[in-house]
Structure formats: structure tokens, C-alpha cells
Amino acid sequence: MAWGSHFCQFYRNADELLEIVAPYFAAGVAAQELCLWAVAPPVSVEQARAALGRLSPQLRKGRAAGLIEIAPFEAVYLHEGRLDGAHALRVLENKLEEASVRGFAGLRVAGNAFEFGAEEWPHIAKYETRLGSLVSSRRILSLCSYPLSCCGASEVLDVIARHDFALMRRNGQWEVIENVAAHRARQAQRESEEYFRLMAQGAPDTALFTLDPEGRVASWNLGAERICGWTAAEIVGRDVAVFYPEDRRGAAAQELDSAVAHGGYKGESECLRKDGTSFPVEMQVSPLRDDRGRLRGFARTMRDVSERKRCEREAMASQAHLRALVESAVDGIVTLDESGVILSVNSAALRMFAYEPGEAIGRPFGLFVPQALEPGSFLADWPAARDAEPEVGGLVGRRKDGSAFPLELTITEAPFEGGRLFIGFLRDLTERRRAEAQMHKLRVDRFDLMAQVAAGVAHEVNQPLSAIAAYLGTARRLLQRVRRGEGVAVDLERILERAVAQVMRSAQIIGELRGVVAAAEPDKTLQSLHRIIEETSGVAGADETTAKVAVTIALAAANDRVIVDRAQMRQVLINLERNAVEAMQRAERRELVISTRLEGGMIRTDIADTGAGLSEEITSLLFEPFVTTKTHGLGVGLAVSRAIVEAHYGRLWAESNPGGGAILSFTLPLAGEHGDAAYAEAE
């Protein structure tokens, strides 16, 4: 009898029951199979043991050797006092595993039903169906014995329908009632399994194996062995959950349930090899049924997709890198199809034209550059222009609000899935045009400035040079008169001194000009600003006395320690004081006030005069080079002074004096406890 046979017997009494059970177990003992008999009335466990020993010495020896186990019906079929088919199947599975561990060829089971009522029959029928599915795919033989006393015609037919064949005693002989449908289904299953086996052996790169209805491996091909690492001897009989990590063992049962519910299951998962390493698989699970629709097991395929996943990861990483490059590009980048429709657009282009992604994608490129798709344009005539320089100049972009701006467009073509794809690179030329206009203005201003400087230098230097020529001419004539012995009424030395003064004036003008053009790095040391103010007020005193200016010095700052270039700071103060004195030449009230006070970590110096004051226009230009309100001078003194103060991390500015005139003020960082911080911050 082949493994997986599931047959039944109808009996009238205990003798008829033993006529079939005894030879059935005798064959099992001879084949070294583990035999299990679940007995129910009219036979007790003790009666069954005695009967088997009486009927056959071979059975007596088999029972003594542990090949035959006799258990009460309740221990196998009942759980918590109720008929429980699932419990019975678990008992059989455990016994089969025990048989395998103990080295038996398989499991041979017999069970005789008790006297049951009509209300219990649906549970028995369901159990028989599940038992048939279990037995069909395992090394199990099953004999189910039913008493005719509790079976009507309907029950007899149901029992026969759920078994491969039935035995019934008639006219003193046992007759075999073949279940033709079951025979055909078994034949079809054998053919299907053989086909699957041949197919599995011919697919070394794919794991092909079958499972029994409970999810245990029933067959195993070479591809499965190569991919997963287990041999057939190691894996057959183990639960399919062995392929899953501990925290995902439940997924195996869910896949089988889904295959049963939907006729199959496809998916991807991470599975385990024998060595514990995981790998991605693409799987398919198909339920195997007989012609009655009963579940006989599952066919499962697993294909290692590690290489595909690696390629996908590399492709995704490459795409992410490319997207990052496109998104981080300063220039706008768009992709277009052959008809000029926008397929994608990066953030720079969206900012450039002030659109949202959903507003641009799928729209014609003319949305951004109206000229691009006009007849005769570069993109419209691309087939004819593809060998030409791809850059388009002189285009105008149009933002969402309708404003226009100069644009540079470069278009390249790329083959794409049998068609063509255009990639456009857009650059907003607004800043470039503005810079070009600014450079042009600077060039023009430079020539204007050169002309102004030349005219100013010529004017300023020409005056002392003319005076020098006049003084020296007068001195020469006087010397000629002296040689002739004539008397001279004019002091010749005084004339020469005036000539020297004009030479010094010329040198001063040239020095001021050099100070504007080349500012030297200051030589900073710790100084007292009050002391420098007092020294410079003495230097400028001659001009103040000549101009009849009343000078007031109010040095109120409690701390005057600064880190400055002493010579440069003297120059600043002299320039500011002289400018103040000169501003008061025509004023009726001529007062000059020099004062200091602290402002945070800075010391502030104010030089206030009572001159004509400053207009708003002059105030905004006062510190520009070559700008002056005087009839003489280059107008570089204040520009040089501001450059010096800013080189010391301070600030120089001018404002109107509330009492009339102007105030020139500057600040410098203090040295010391508070000034060091301000100085360091300025650095």
C-alpha cells in the first residue's frame, strides 16, 4: 500500500474490526513502521492489547518492541472533553515526527469511531477531509473504522467519498469499494507531482519545492539547495517558517492563507539561508488541490533577486545623485518632449520664472520663453539646426507675472526610449546685463574722473607754479640790479621764502593726491587720543588765529586709550580742523568746538563750526574724492580722512550743527577692558 493512502472500514462487531486492523498492523510491523491505534468502544485498550497478542505472535513482539502503541480514543480525538479535529491532527503530526526521530519508515494509524449522533457528524466529516489532505503528502497510512450501527446510507456515502476506498463485509467476505473520483485525483496528483519534480530538477537557478497542507516542505530541488543551502534530507519535513527571521515567522502562514484565499500569492520578501544570512527573493505560491477541490499542499518558487536589487539600488542612487545635481544647479534646467512640452523643471527654473511645479509641467515651453517655439526659432527648426551651435542668445524670458528679463538658453538633444528628449539650460542674464551696464558706467566715470583730476591738478598745481615763476623772475631781476651796483629797496630773502612756500604748497597738493591713490597700511600703537587732539590744535592754531576763530576744547571722555597710527590720526584731525576754519571765513560768528565723549566701547570726537553749514546734496557727496565746496583745493582731504578712520575700524560722518554750521564726527574703538572687545569685533 502506497504512502498517503487513506481508507476506511465498516464493521458490525469487534471481531470484524480486528479482522482488518490485525493484518494492517502486522504489515506495519514487518515494514518497521510506527503503528498507532486509537480505540473506542466496543473495544477497550486492554481488550485491544489482548486481542492483538492472541491473534499474532508478530503483533505481540511488535508491541513489546514499541512498534505498536494503543491509546484511548479520548486521548487522540478529544480536547477539553470535546471532539477536536485540529487536536487529533497535531497528535498525528507529533507521532510522525517521533517516528522519524526513532528511525521508523513512517506512521501507520488506525482509529475506530465511537457511537456518535447526527449533530457530531459535520465535525467528523470536516476532520476526515483535513486528515485526507495531511495523509496525502506525508509518510502516513490511515485506516478509519466506522460502526454500521451509527451510519445510515447518507453517512456511508459521505465516508466513502472522503477516502480512497472502503472495506465492507458482505456475504461472509470483505469487499473493496473503490472511490473512482479519489483514484483519478490521486493519479492526477501523482502525475502533477512527477511533472513538478522534473520541472524542479530542470531549474537549477530557481528554488522549486512543494509543501504539505500544513506548510511543511515535502519536496526540494537542486536550485533550492543551491540558493538556500539546505539539502533535501535536511529540509524536508521542516516548516516553511524556517526561511524567515524570528520576528517575521508569521509571514509564512499569511502567504499560504493568501494563496488559499485568492488562488495564489506573488510577492517579494527577505528570506534566510541555512547559514543565517538573508537575501531578497521573488516568490510565488500556488495551492495544489485534487479534483474535489481539497487542498493537497502548495507549490512554491523562490528566485534570488539580489543582483536585481543591487542594480535597482545603484540606479536609484544614481538617479538621486542626478536629481540632487539638477536641483542644486544655479542655472534653470528643463526637459522637453519633441513637441516642446515641459516634462520636468528644477527649482532654479521655477524660481527664475516664479511658477510652482504643477503650474509648469505639461505646459508648452513657450510659457517660459515665448520666442523658443515660434516658426524659425532654434527649437522649432531643431532637425535642421542640430549640427549648429546649440546656444541661443538674445532671448527674452517671461515670468508668471508677465515681467520680461534677458535670458540665455542652451538646448541639447538626448535619445530617450526610441524618441527624442530635449534638455534646456536657462540662465537669467539680468545681473550680467546690470553688471555690464555698471562696468560701462564705471569706464565712462573713470574717463570723466581722469578729466576732472587732470583739470583739478592742472588748476591747483598751476597756481603755485605761476607764483613760483613770478617770485623767481622778480628775484632774478633784483639780482641783476645788484650786479650793476644799483640799490634794491625790496627784501630779496622774503621773495625767495614766498617762492619756497609755493613749492611746499605744490608738494602738499601732490601728497594729498598720492594719499587718495595709495593708502598705506597703518602702523597702530597704543595712544592717547586727547593728547593727539591737543597737539593738532596747536598745529592748526596759526590758521585759527589768522581767521580770528575762538577755539574751545572739551575732552569729556573718561577713557581716551586707542590703538591707532599716530601720524595718520594727526592728519585726520588737522584736515578736519582746517576744513572747519576755512568754512567760517565769511561767517560773522567764528567758533570751533572740539569735544569727546564715550559711546559704548567707542570714543567719539566732534569738530563743530559755525560756518555756512551743509546742504543735503553736499552732505551725501562730501566724502567723495575730488568733491569740494571751496574755491581752491582738490577735494581729497575728507576722502583721505574717512579712509584712515575706517582703516582703524571707526566711522566718519558729517551733519548739520543745530546752532548753525556743521559737525564732523568720527568714532574709534577703545583699547582696554571695554575697548578690546569692540576692537576685536571690528577686526
- The domains of the chain are located at 6-178, 185-309, 330-422, 433-517, 525-682
For residue 529, what is the DSSP state?
H
* pLDDT at residue 185 tops 70: no
End-to-end CA, the chain: 102
Per DSSP, the three-state class of 678 is helix
Work out the average pLDDT over 212-218: 90
Identify the residue with better confidence: 633 or 169.
169
- Kindly report the number of other CB atoms within 10 A of residue 176's CB atom: 9
40 and 47 Cβ atoms separated by less than 8 Å: no
Rounded Cα distance between 288 and 411, Å, is 59
Averaged pLDDT of the chain: 83
pTM above 0.85, yes or no: no
Q: Would you state the pLDDT for residue 390?
A: 52
What is d(CA 446, CA 140) in angstroms, rounded to the nearest whole number? 107
Phi-psi region of 338 (alpha: psi -120 to 50; beta: other; left: phi over 0): alpha
6-178: which CATH number, 3.30.230.10, 3.40.50.720, 3.40.640.10, 3.40.50.300? 3.40.50.300
Percent of the chain with pLDDT over 90: 34
**59 touches 25 (CB < 8 A):** yes
Residue 188 has pLDDT above 90, yes or no: no
Domain 185-309: which topology? Beta-Lactamase (3.30.450)
- Which of 30-34, 522-526, 529-533, 546-550 comes out lowest in average pLDDT? 546-550
Better pLDDT: 426 or 673: 426
Q: Please, which residues bridge with residue 411 across strands?
A: 424
Joined together, the cell numbers standing for residue 425 give 539650460
The residue to which cell 500500500 is assigned: 1
Region 229-245: mean pLDDT is: 91
pLDDT in tens, 113-156: 766 666 778 888 888 888 887 887 789 999 999 988 888 878 88
Domain 525-682 top-level CATH class = alpha beta
What pLDDT score was predicted for residue 630? 56
Q: What share of the chain is helix, strand, coil (3-state, %, to 5)?
A: 50, 25, 25
- Specify which residues 280 forms β-bridges with: 270
Using pLDDT thresholds of 50, 70 and 90, give the confidence band for residue 385.
Answer: very low
Q: Does residue 73 carry a pLDDT above 60? A: yes
The whole-number pLDDT of residue 190 equals 57
Q: What are phi and psi of 679, to 5 degrees?
A: -65, -45
Q: In what order do the strands lie in the sheet with 140-147?
A: 68-72, 34-39, 107-112, 140-147, 6-11, 165-170, 173-178
Determine the average pLDDT of the residues in 211-237: 89
In angstroms, the CA 593 to CA 606 distance is 8
- pLDDT score of 375 more than 80: no
Average pLDDT of span 676-682: 50
State the DSSP code for 241. G
pLDDT-based confidence at 374, cuts 50/70/90? low
One fold for 185-309 and 525-682: no
Q: Cβ distance 584 to 610 under 8 Å?
A: yes
> Cα(286)–Cα(208) distance, rounded to whole angstroms?
11
* CA–CA gap between residue 630 and residue 459 (Å, rounded): 13
Phi (first) and psi of residue 644, to 5 degrees = -65, -45
Kindly provide the b/e burial profile for residues 441-473, where b requires at least 16 CB atoms within 10 angstroms of the residue's own CB. eeeeeeeeeeebbeebeeebbeebeebbeebee
Q: Which of 14-18, 381-385, 443-447, 634-638 has the lowest mean pLDDT?
A: 381-385
* Res. 384 pLDDT band, cuts 50 70 90: very low
Q: Residue 587 has what DSSP assignment?
A: -
117: its cell numbers:
449522533
Res 32 pLDDT > 70: yes
Predicted confidence at residue 20, as pLDDT, reads 93
Gap between the Cα atoms of 622 and 637, Å rounded: 10
Rg of the chain, C-alpha, whole Å:
56
Type of residue found at 540: A
pLDDT value at 603 more than 90? yes
Neighbours of 380 (CB within 10 A): 15
Looking from the CA of 286 toward its CB, the CA atoms found within 13 Å total 9
pLDDT above 90: residue 206:
no
* Nine-digit cell string for 610: 559755525
Confidence band of 182 (pLDDT split at 50, 70, 90)? low
| Model confidence band, residue 28 (pLDDT cutoffs 50, 70, 90) | very high
Instruction: Give the pLDDT of residue 676.
Output: 54
pLDDT at 459 exceeding the cut of 70 = no
What pLDDT, on a 0 to 100 scale, did the predictor assign at position 522?
Answer: 67
User: CA–CA separation, 657 vs 583, rounded Å?
Assistant: 13
In the predicted structure, residue 340 carries a pLDDT above the cut 80: yes
In sequence order, the β-bridge partners of residue 608 are 593, 663
Please state which CATH number belongs to domain 330-422.
3.30.450.20
Share of the chain above pLDDT 70, in %: 81
pLDDT on residue 542: 43
On the question of pLDDT at 590 being above 50, the answer is yes
Cis peptide upstream of residue 42 (ω within 30 degrees of 0): yes
Three-state SS annotation for 248-299: HCHHHHHHHHHHHHHCCEEEEEEEECCCCCEEEEEEEEEEEECCCCCEEEEE
pLDDT over 70 at 177, yes or no? yes
Q: Give the pLDDT band of residue 103 (cuts 50, 70, 90).
A: very high
pLDDT category of residue 549 using cuts at 50, 70 and 90: confident
